[in-house]
A and B are shown apart, each in its own frame.
Chain A
Amino acid sequence: MNRLALWVVTLLVAAPALADIKVGVYGPYTGGSAGMGVCMRNGVELAAEEINAKGGILGQKVELVKRDDEAKNERGGQIMQEFLDKEKVVAVLGPINTGVADNSTRYANERKVPVIINASAGAKVNDYFAQAPENYIFRIAAADPLQTELTVKEAVDVRKYKKPALLCDDTNYGQGGRAKLEAALAKRNMKAVYVGKFKIKDTDMTPQVQEAKAAGADVLLVWGIGPELAAVANSLDRVGWKVDMIGGWTLSMAAFINNAGKNGNGATTPLTFIEGDTSGAKQKKFVDDYHKKFNENPIQVAVAAAQGYDSLYLLKQAIEQAKSTEGDKIRLALENLQQPFVGVTGTYNKPFSPTNHEAVSADQMKMGVVKDGTVVRGIAKK
């Protein structure tokens, strides 16, 4: 009882002192893509804790307003309106799912509140410039066109494969990836020898990999999410076909690595962050702190955690440069950052410009290779 009273008093006393900077964070914390959402949120939380311990932003504490969008498009829209109308947030970080982002970011744009997308690869960002030159949507994550280009580059230019087969799931994500992979191949005057499809929850891909093999494929380019990609790897083992598997960042998810086990070894993907690659002191500290704070080792989806962590620091740098929390001023600061932004995913010199809101370029990307339950930095093959 006494302790409770003490809590209440502390809260009452403490509350007015926290004239906070409110930042909205949304993503799926339950459901199929929860792994990515929770890691992103944890990354943001870790950054917020560090920032607050060092005096906050412009002397004010950061307060995170966290909401679960359940990967549902309509929830994304509701949450964004709650952020804007009720919580009056300064900026928004998130989400994971393309549909959620596209259903919500336009509200932020109308209300001039910056959104830094820290995971969704397919969400609209630069597309908004066509409607309005004042675009409040930014991204610090590898967009799909970049990931597909790097995937094809690794397969065709680096490893010199001639007959790629595509295996993609039938969601927006998978089919969007398929179209972009085909475009990247077409740029090199190549065509996939086989284009296969699978559904979420499919567990036996024997027919697809057989058909790819029969078509004479020498490399598999895959676009889907963890569990189904694991099924692809397991089916390859079953039919006894050893072939390189290259694809999007989802190959670094725990759901792929754990479920594929040894069959996942060698799967290669372009990433902004590799947990096993702690050559930098900043990266090592981030990984260690994350393991300690969330008691999770290895990190379920390290890329989402690192991008979440960076997104809040990026916002901090912009607010400090703008010396204001007004949306318009934050946007202008982001578009013209005076100091380079040093994050765990890389160092960004002028990450954004008034006409380009994509922070990540090929320079920040590393090739990650799955090896015995974790992701390590790829060594150039051949």
Chain B
Amino acid sequence: MQTLQLLISGIAQGMIYALVAFGYNITFSTSKTLNFSLGNFLMAGGVIGFVLYMTRGYPFWGTLLGVIAVGAVGGAILLKVAVEPSLRQRNAYGWILATLAVGIILRNAAEVFWSTDDFKFRSPLGDSPIRLLQHLRPDGTLSAGLGVYPQELLIIVVSLAIVAGVEAFKRFTVFGKAVQAVSEDKDTASLMGIDQRWVILSSFMLSTAIACVAGVLVAPITLVSATMGTVLGVKAYSASIIGGLESGIGAVVGGLFLGISEALTARFVSTGYKDVPGFVVLILLLLFKPSGLFGRAVIRKV
């Protein structure tokens, strides 16, 4: 029963890692760059969602739409300002610092223009846990059973839907094929008449929009604050490395692995070591299978 409770915590946490990790995958597969400000886009989503939903009282679906719009526009700006210049100059690594810088700017902006405190984001589905698997004790009272927050179920459902939707889009539509072609070979795809700039732009917009949605989804479980995305961004990055940077399924598996290992280690080993197994596996993978669990080994033809 206890372990089951921990698994639920771990899975919900893992799906959040997976969602952000998926955002890393999307831009990597089209442009071979990573958007290191995703964690802070998640924060921006949480904060803007908080302002719209809690402060202004907009309905939840309207909040989601607003956050998606902000995320998409933010992604486009990020690409134009931070990533494209360094790609154009063939400066292979300028975008690393540039995207990190955008993340820092986002966080500081939230601290200055919004608040430095932590706030409670009320779940649209209610904040009381659903009780499962309760049984009658001999003295006639109900046992506590499992406590699951409705929001956790929402996170799992929405995350899986987003990942499945994007993967299906990539595999079964013409646009999806174009994306895959660009990720396979940018220059040849261009020669075939695919506008690779458009593909890269939409991949950035999609990844930041997903991160912003993730922010609204996690906010009721965590708290909303200007620093809520910092740790999540790093954990999600390791999740996507564990799973393999090019694989959508890999992001989910990597995220779940991290989330579950954290919960179980905290309980059965020590709370101080809860991050250790994930990072040990990360290092082992980097040593023996650098492309990740589900990644294809990169073969460079010269």
Which A residues contact B (CB, under 8 angstroms)? 30-32, 34-35, 170, 196-198, 201, 203-204, 206-208, 210-211, 214, 226-227, 230, 237-241, 255, 258-259, 261
Contact = CB atoms under 8 A, between A and B. Distances in A.
Given A201-B227, A208-B266, A227 B118 contact: yes
Interface residues of B, number: 33
A206 B117 contact: no
B212 interface: no
Contact of A208 (B117, B227, B271): B271
A31 B6 CA distance: 32
B118 A210 contact: no
Contacts of B221: 203-204
**Among B145, B228, B263, B266, which residue has the most Cβ atoms of chain A within 10 A?**
B266
Interface in B215-234: 221-223, 225, 227-228, 231
A203 B223 contact: yes
Given A227-B118, A238-B147, A259-B118, A210 B5 contact: yes
B236 to A, nearest CB: 15
Interface SS majority for chain A: helix
6 contacts: A207-B9, A210-B5, A238-B5, A239-B144, A259-B223, A261-B120
Interface string B271-284: 11010000000000
Given A30-B111, A207-B267, A227-B223, A239 B120 contact: no
A258 B115 CA distance: 16
Given A210-B5, A210-B6, A255-B118, A240 B263 contact: no
Interface string B229-273: 001000000000000000000000000000000010011000110
B190 interface: no
Contacts of A197: 271-272
B120 A258 contact: yes
B116 A30 contact: yes
Contacts of A255: 117-118
B184 interface: no
B85 interface: no
Contact of B149 (A211, A238, A239): A238
B6 A206 contact: yes
A355 B222 CA distance: 46
Given A210-B2, A240-B144, A259-B223, 6 more contacts: A31-B116, A204-B13, A206-B263, A207-B266, A208-B266, A261-B127
Contact of B117 (A35, A204, A237, A261): A35
B127 A240 contact: no
Given A170-B272, A258-B120, A211 B145 contact: no
B147 A32 contact: no
**Among A214, A241, A258, which residue has the most Cβ atoms of chain B within 10 A?**
A258
